[in-house]
Structure 1
Amino acid sequence: MLRFDDLQLFVRAAEHGSLSAAARLLDLSPAVASAALKRLEAQLGARLLARSTRSLRLTAEGEGFLAHARAALTSLDEGRRLLARERDEISGVLQLSAPSDFGRNVLLPWLDELQREHPLLNVRLLLGDRNADLFRQPVDIALRYGAPEDSSLVAVPLCPDNRRVVCASPDYLARHGEPRSVAQLTEHNCLLYRLGSGVHDHWRFYLDGREEDVLVSGDRFCDDADVIRRWAVAGAGIAYKSWLDVAADVRAGRLRVLLGHYRGEAAPLNLLCTHRAQLGKPVQLLGDLLKARCRTVLDEL
């Protein structure tokens, strides 16, 4: 098989009319250059360059082969550039699951942005609030609030400082008034979120190093976090939601944050996978994008 560096030496020698000049250009010793040319001629069974101590010229066979050698080098060089572009270009399938509210109302535009920048990337998104079984479901990664229940999973923090906030619509507050303390939440219709068999009706807050708990109640509960947010926006009651989920509604005036002097429960957003080998370039890009976007949203809290 012909060697790339032998072809390169032959072409450079023909262009410069000197084997020693070609050797200097390619950072080869004269002996190595001479051996390379002899090896190429032996493989082709033809003399390519007629050379003496003072001159070098192409033979007839060398003139005929030169065009093919140049074409081969050009083709190989283009192949190398193509491989480099493919390494830099993100493609393949990104399979992930995400919480219903965050996925539908926050994540979707960020995924659109990622695909606009990398049009060869395909996205398969599963939405739902139940913890995805990454060993059974057709997803590679999951975005989830809170610490992973399965300690065998790899967890990559995306927004570790995210917290829950109490919020309600201006319409609800105009009709029912605004709670001024954690205890006063028991006097309001609280929108309850159900995950699995448990209803999240035990709300926890922190103030000056103290923890305050309250058992709330209301006339509505749902296992879809997006429905809880929609009920809150519609004025049906008070919700205790991740800041990432409601920040856009607060900015737009659809919801107001209540009891702002309290710190709500931590709701860190993590990227979960079964093995670090799944943290390929598409996942790393998604993680970097989410960290940056979440940081911007969190700065508004």
Structure 2
Amino acid sequence: MLRSDDLLVFVRAAELGSLSAAARVLDLSPAVASAALKRLEGQLGARLLARSTRSLRLTAEGEGFLQHARSALVSLEDGQRQLVQGRDKVSGVLQLSAPSDLGRNVLLPWLNELQQEHPLLNVRLLLGDRNADLFRQPVDVAVRYGTPEDSSLVAVPLCPDNRRVLCASPAYLARHGSPGDLQALAGHNCLLYQLGDRVYDQWRFGEGASEITVQVKGDRFCDDADVVRRWALAGAGIAYKSWLDIAADVQSGQLRVLLPELRGEATPLQLLCAQRAPLGKPIQLLRDLLKVRCQVLMEQLKLLSQ
């Protein structure tokens, strides 16, 4: 079997007219280059280069073999390049579950971008605010807020610093004013979120010994977090939402953050997996994309809090 490095020594020596020059270009010692050429000639049973102390030239056999050697090297390079490109191509199915608000308004455009970069990737997205059963539902991973109650799930942090923020539309604030402190929330219509049988009408701020809980009330509540966001956008009241869910609305001016100096309730974003096996390539890409994009949004929240 002919060695590709031996072929390369022969081709470079023929092109440069010098075995020592070929050795320098290939970062080889003259002895190693000479041994490579001798090995090649021995395997072929033909002398390829006529050498003297001052010159080197192709023999008739060498001239006939040179083009074949070049073609073989080009073919090997093409094959190697295709292998590398093949490893970069991501295919298969990415099955994931995500909260309704985050999924529709944040995750969806990011997934579109991921598929544009990897057109062989198929995405199956299940939206809902109830926790997905990764052992029964047809999903590989779930994107969820908070710490999973099921200890059998593996949680991969995506945005551990995410928090809830108070927000309202400019139209609502123009009619009712902006609360000057947490106690003032009692005089405002607060938009409530329901998960299961529980209505979240106690809003927590701070943490540990400095945690404050405020009882709020309002004229509407929903078990779909995206509906709560839409009510806030429509000027129906004040919402207490995950920053990731409403960051784009704040940037566009449709919502304003209220009392930004307050530290809202921690709402870490996690990627949940049902087992500790290594993550597949599609899930790795999703994880990396979400980490980068969430970090950008968190930097914007830090600026608002200053």
TM range (shorter): 0.7 to 0.9
TM-score by length of 1: 0.79
Task: Check conservation: 1:91, 1:282, Cα contact below 8 A.
Answer: no
1:300 matched to 2:276: no
CA distance in structure 1 between the aligned counterparts of 2:149 and 2:206, rounded to whole angstroms? 24
Task: Check conservation: 1:155, 1:272, Cα contact below 8 A.
Answer: yes
User: Alignment length, in residue pairs?
Assistant: 299
Deviations 1:134-180 (A, max 9, x none): 44444444322222333454434333332222334455556666655
CA distance in structure 2 between the aligned counterparts of 1:161 and 1:111, rounded to whole angstroms? 22
Partner of residue 37, structure 2: 37
CA distance in structure 1 between the aligned counterparts of 2:90 and 2:227, rounded to whole angstroms? 34
Partner of residue 210, structure 2: 210
Partner of residue 101, structure 2: 101
Corresponding residue SS for 1:194: strand
Where does the alignment leave 5 or more consecutive residues of structure 1 unmatched?
none
CA distance in structure 2 between the aligned counterparts of 1:220 and 1:251, rounded to whole angstroms? 26
Amino acid at match of 1:266: A
Q: How does 1:96-175 map to 2 (within 5 A)?
A: 96-115=96-115, 118-120=117-119, 122=121, 124=123, 125-172=125-172
Q: How does 1:29-68 map to 2 (within 5 A)?
A: 29-51=29-51, 56-68=56-68
Amino acid at match of 1:291: C
Corresponding residue SS for 2:67: helix
Displacement of 1:7 after TM fit? 0.8
Partner of residue 249, structure 1: 249
Amino acid at match of 2:294: K
Task: Check conservation: 2:244, 2:294, Cα contact below 8 A.
Answer: no
Displacement of 1:3 after TM fit? 0.6
CA distance in structure 2 between the aligned counterparts of 1:132 and 1:222, rounded to whole angstroms? 19
CA distance in structure 2 between the aligned counterparts of 1:162 and 1:202, rounded to whole angstroms? 19
Task: Check conservation: 2:144, 2:272, Cα contact below 8 A.
Answer: yes
Cα 1:169–1:51 shift into 2, 3 Å: closer
CA distance in structure 2 between the aligned counterparts of 1:247 and 1:193, rounded to whole angstroms? 18
Displacement of 1:245 after TM fit? 1.8
Cα 1:263–1:12 shift into 2, 3 Å: closer
Corresponding residue SS for 1:264: coil
Partner of residue 290, structure 1: 293
Cα 1:14–1:251 shift into 2, 3 Å: closer
- Identity level (%): 69
